[in-house]
Structure 1
Amino acid sequence: MTKGTKEINADGSFNRQKNRFTTPFGNEKDQLPVEAGRYRLLWSAVCPWAHRSVIVRKVLGLEEVISLGTASPMRPRLPHVDWEFSLDEGGVDPVLGIKYISEIYKKAAPDFTGRPTVPVMVDVKEQKAVNNDYFKLTNYLETVWAPFHKENAPNLYPEHLRAEIDALNDIIFHDVNNGVYKCGFAQSQEAYEAAYDILFARLDELEERLATKRFLFGDYITDSDVRLYATLVRFDAAYYSAFKTNRNRIVDFPNLWGYLRDLYQTPGFGDTTDFHAIKVHYHLSNHIADDDQKGYNILPKGPDLSGLHSQHNRAGLSNKTEKFFIH
C-alpha cells in the first residue's frame, strides 16, 4: 500500500476502505437467507476482523453449520493485494476451487477493484461473495443465526445491553481495532503521532474500566470482549514493533494483561489464536512496505507469550466463581 492509494489521505493518515458486500442475514425479503450448510466463511488466522468471527462461530457452536476456509498468512506475490489458499492441497480452497480470495469477489462483482478482505461469507450454492461486513458479521451470528446455535449457547449480544455494546464497539473499532492500523499505515509523522496518542489514551481508559469489572460489561463475556481481544492478543507479538505502537505492551497494563489472559484461557479464544501465523504476516508479509523494507525477511524470535497461560486472578472481580457467559 503506497501513498496515493484510496486508503491513504492527503495528510498521510490511513482511511480504511468501505465494505463492498453488506446485505444483512435475516428472514426478510432482500436479506441473505439463514441456512445451514449454505455458506463458507473465508478467513486468515492473522486478521483480527476475521478472528473475531471465528471466535463467535466456535463459541456459539456454528462450526458444523458454516464451513471455514483458511487463507495463508503470507501475501502472494501479485501486482495487487490478495489472499491465497496455499495452505490447502493443490493451492486451492477444497470447497470453492479458488486460488485467491479476489476470485470470489470478482464472481460477485466483476467490476470490483478494491482490496479483497477477510472475513467474507461466501454463498456456496451461488459461488459468490455475499457479505464482508466484518463490523456486523458477529452480530448476525449472534442473533438471526440463533436457530442453529448449540444447546445452551451463550448470549454474547443480550438485548438489554445492545445499545451500550454498540456504542462501545464503535469506540473500540475507531480507537483500538483500527487505531493500531492508523499507526502502522500512517505515512506522515503527524498522522502517526495523532493515532498513537488516541490509541493509548483509549487503552488507558479501558485499563481503568477493567480495574473493577472482570469483562467490559461486568460478569459476562459479550461481543465487545471478542472485539477487544482480537487486537489485544496481537499487540505484543505484532503491533508493538511492526506498527510502532510502542508506548506500552499489553503485559505492562496490569488489568488489560489479566483480562487478556482470562479470555485467552476461555474456549474459543486461545484455541483459535495462531501466533506463528500472526508473526509471519505482520513481520514478513505485511503489504504496507516494499519487500526490501521488511527487515530482510527475518522473523522476530520473541516475545515470550507463555505468560498467557498463567493464572489471571480475575474471578475475584466477579460475582461468579468461574467463567460465565449469559445463557
Structure 2
Amino acid sequence: MTDWAGDAKNASTDGEFVRDARYISDRIVASVPAGSGPQPMPGTDGRVGELLWPAEPGRYRLMAARACPWAHRAVIVRRLMGLEDAFSLSLAAPTHDVRSWNYAGVYPDGLDPVLKIPRLQDAYFARIPDYPRGITVPAMAEIVSGKVVTNDFDQMTIDFIREWGPYQRAGAPDLYPDELVDEIESVNELIYPKINNGVYKCGFAGSQEAYDKAYRELWEALDVITDRLSDRRYLVSDHLTLADIRLFTTLVRFDPVYHGHFKCNRSKITEIPVLWGYLRDLFQTPGFGDTVDFVQIKQHYYIVHTDINPTKIVPLGPDLSGLLTPHGREALGGTPFGDGTAPGPVRPDEQPTAGHNPLYPA
C-alpha cells in the first residue's frame, strides 16, 4: 500500500502508521565541479544514496506536486532563494494511482515537457530498475539522463539553501544560518514526528488505540507550538527560517483536509487565535501563500484515500478568504527576510490555477 505521497506505509502490530523514510539520499552540492559526474561521498563506496552531484544550473529538474506538503517545502524554498533559473519545476497532477504520480491533464499529451515521461516512476526506474520503494515527491532528476538523483525531501531543502549560493537571487534570505541550526532542528524534533507526520498517524491509524495516541501527541505538540508563538512572530529568531516552512505546509492544509479527513478535530486553526494569526502572516508573505493550490490539495486527499473516503467526494469548503485578513503579528517585531528581501512575483507559468487560492481569484 502507498500513502498519498507515494511513500510506502506500514502498520505496526498495534495499528500505528509507520512512514517508510528510506530515500535515495544522494546530494547535490557546490563542492563537486560543474560539468563533472557524481562522486562518492567521503568514506563510502559510492553506491546509490552515497553520491555527491555538482550544483550546476540547467542540469536538474525539481519534480513536485501542489498537493504534497513535503514537495511544497521544496517549492517554497526554491522560490524564496530565487532558484527558478537554476533548475526547472515539474508539477504532477493532484491524484495518482498505485504506479505513481502522473502528468495527465497537466501537460500536453500527459508528458512532462522536459523529461518526456508520463509518470514519475519512469525517472525512478531510469535510476534503479524496478525501484522497490515509494515513488515520492519531491525529487531532483538529472535532465540528460532522465534519472532521479535524490528524493530526500529534508536534506534537499537544506542543500537548496546552502549549496546553490552562486545561483541564488540577490537578497535571498538565510533560512538555515549556522548559529540557529541547533535550535531549528530542536524545534523540528517536535514538529516532524508529532505534527507533520502526526496528522498522518491520526488519519492512517489502524486501531482506536493508535489513533488516540497520535491525536493526543498531535494536540500536545500544537499546544507547545502555540505557546511558543504567543510572544514571538516566528519559530526561531526574529525572521523566517526553515522551521517556519516545515510547519506552514501542515498548517495550511489543516482546516481543508486534516481536521475532518484525518480526524484531527479538536479545533480548527481558525479557532486558535495564535496559530490562525501566524498562518495568515505566513500566507500573506511572498513565497508562501502564492505557492498554494487548495483545490489540488483537496482533490488529492479526498480522491486518493478511498479507504478513508470511498465516495471520492471532494468538499467545497471551507471558506479560505480569511487568510487575507489582517493578522497584526507585526507588533511582535521581526521582519520576514531578515537582511534579505522578498522574492519577486511568481512566474506566470508557475502560478496556482485561478480560483484555487484567495490570492488568485477566478
* In 1, Cα distance between equivalents of 2:196 and 2:208: 20
One-letter amino acid of the structure 2 residue matched with residue 82 of structure 1: S
Question: Does structure 2 retain, via aligned residues, the 8 Å contact 1:220–1:324?
Answer: yes
1:325 is aligned to 338
Cα distance, 1:74 vs structure 2: 1.5
Is 1:96 matched up with 2:126? no
Task: Indicate how the Cα distance of structure 1 residues 188 and 90 shifts in structure 2: closer, same or farther if over 3 A, else same.
Answer: same
Question: Which aligned pairs between 1:224-243 and structure 2 lie closer than 5 A?
Answer: 224-243=243-262
User: Which segments of 5 or more consecutive residues in structure 2 lack a partner in the other structure?
Assistant: 33-38, 41-51, 341-362
One-letter amino acid of the structure 1 residue matched with residue 100 of structure 2: D
One-letter amino acid of the structure 1 residue matched with residue 21 of structure 2: K
Identity percentage over the alignment? 44
2:164 is aligned to 145
1:302 is aligned to 317
Question: Does structure 2 retain, via aligned residues, the 8 Å contact 1:262–1:314?
Answer: yes
Is 1:284 matched up with 2:303? yes
* Aligned-partner SS, 2:117: coil
* Aligned-partner SS, 1:15: strand
One-letter amino acid of the structure 1 residue matched with residue 278 of structure 2: Y
Cα distance, 1:326 vs structure 2: 4.0
2:89 is aligned to 68
Q: 1:84 aligns with which of 102, 106, 114?
A: 102
1:11 is aligned to 14
Question: Does structure 2 retain, via aligned residues, the 8 Å contact 1:62–1:148?
Answer: yes
Q: 1:59 aligns with which of 60, 74, 80?
A: 80
* Aligned-partner SS, 1:57: helix
* In 2, Cα distance between equivalents of 1:256 and 1:111: 43
One-letter amino acid of the structure 1 residue matched with residue 12 of structure 2: N
* Aligned-partner SS, 1:20: coil
Moved runs in structure 1, 4+ residues, more than 6 A?
none
* In 1, Cα distance between equivalents of 2:226 and 2:110: 43
Q: How far does the alpha carbon of each residue in 1:35-90 deviate from its partner, in whole angstroms, 9 at most, with x for none?
A: 001110011100000001000000110011110111111123xxx25111111110
Is 1:211 matched up with 2:211? no
Moved more, 15-24 or 301-310: 15-24
Q: Hey, which of these two has a bigger chunk of helix by percent? A: 1
Greater RCO, 1 or 2 (C-alpha within 8 Å, sep 6+): 1
Cα distance, 1:166 vs structure 2: 1.6
* In 1, Cα distance between equivalents of 2:109 and 2:251: 34
Question: Does structure 2 retain, via aligned residues, the 8 Å contact 1:106–1:112?
Answer: yes
2:285 is aligned to 266
* Aligned-partner SS, 2:28: coil
* Aligned-partner SS, 1:41: strand
1:182 is aligned to 201
* Aligned-partner SS, 1:25: strand
Question: Which aligned pairs between 1:240-255 and structure 2 lie closer than 5 A?
Answer: 240-255=259-274
- TM-score normalized with structure 2 length: 0.84
Cα distance, 1:6 vs structure 2: 5.4
The alignment yields a C-alpha RMSD, in angstroms, of 1.6
Question: Does structure 2 retain, via aligned residues, the 8 Å contact 1:23–1:130?
Answer: yes
Is 1:131 matched up with 2:146? no
Question: Does structure 2 retain, via aligned residues, the 8 Å contact 1:156–1:325?
Answer: no
1:45 is aligned to 66
Question: Which aligned pairs between 1:194-209 and structure 2 lie closer than 5 A?
Answer: 194-209=213-228
